[in-house]
Chains A and B, each alone.
Chain A
């Protein structure tokens, strides 16, 4: 664990700033929506505050094989230490952002319940048919893990193989997907997805974890771009 202290602190210095910025953005959105709900009072007002947090969870991994990696290796860290520290930091980062999201969501609900506000923030957890606060938190966690995991593997593939190869692979997969979608029988799959939304969300969470683990073989011997 002592070997991870340096990389963990270097990565956290980068992530901490994003955590503060996106907490502030989400807070501003909540204040604006509550103001509109209280003073304008439109009917059927279900705004969405998750955008900035989901967005940054998806895009953060694309910046994590840059400055922090270069600084860590430059000071004597190893690739494996960096990847392990990155995953630990991601976990803290996801939990922190999900807490911010859900605390602000619950606070807004409380304000709406105790005032004449017409605003109810839309939480994506309601799409999966869950209703309690812990389930809301869990849904956000799974979405966060999926976003960060897939973002990390794409960023690792980009780093390892470069843009040309990655775009080529993406194009190939896209063509295959398109052919399957147009020529294959999608009906059964779509039916299964609609009937098993919550299970699918868990499978996406597992996929996120698998993607994160796959960054080890991709990155542990990669030639550095310093």
Chain B
């Protein structure tokens, strides 16, 4: 079992032991690939700002969070993207801004994505259900092209179908496709075609953010797809990082697998940006 050091005392312990004690995981590089920012009309989300996100990250030992404002996935793409960029500028190296396209504003998407890339975003986020638009629709094509050109992560809430996901991943092989929420685990992963696509396509990954966690299912998923296909995400502030990370920290998998999921793989995906 890998030994890590606790922040407070320097004592060595496993990831499991640190989690049970509430010790920050200072020797494990952790990247949260799925966070929002700001208030949301649908329900009350306590302390949804970047400053308190960073405080929570510090308590757990999360090094970086990829953020996309809730405003950008709802009513105002451009202002929302600016909120994400502003948060990243206030917390360099801790908050990584992503750009969100609103595909309903089809004629604006390319310029907006390019503007955000020029401003330093590290990835792209789709929310196909809130934007009520298909993953395979033409409004998203400029975002796919730019993600491919700049070799960026692209996380999507909704991918239409496993076949559309596979076709798109093959069309844009330099983009890193992340299926939001799919890595939280579903019953009988062996029958789920989305997981088959993730296993077979080298640029498809699964995000762990999800409120529901049936017993033992996450470990089954890790065994089925391999830890290298799963990326930690917490969906802050829709859900709390302190809860979400527990799915991984206390799972009956090895510490090396946990480290891959917590940030090892995501560091590599973020490093390819051109």
User: Are A and B genuine complex partners?
Assistant: no
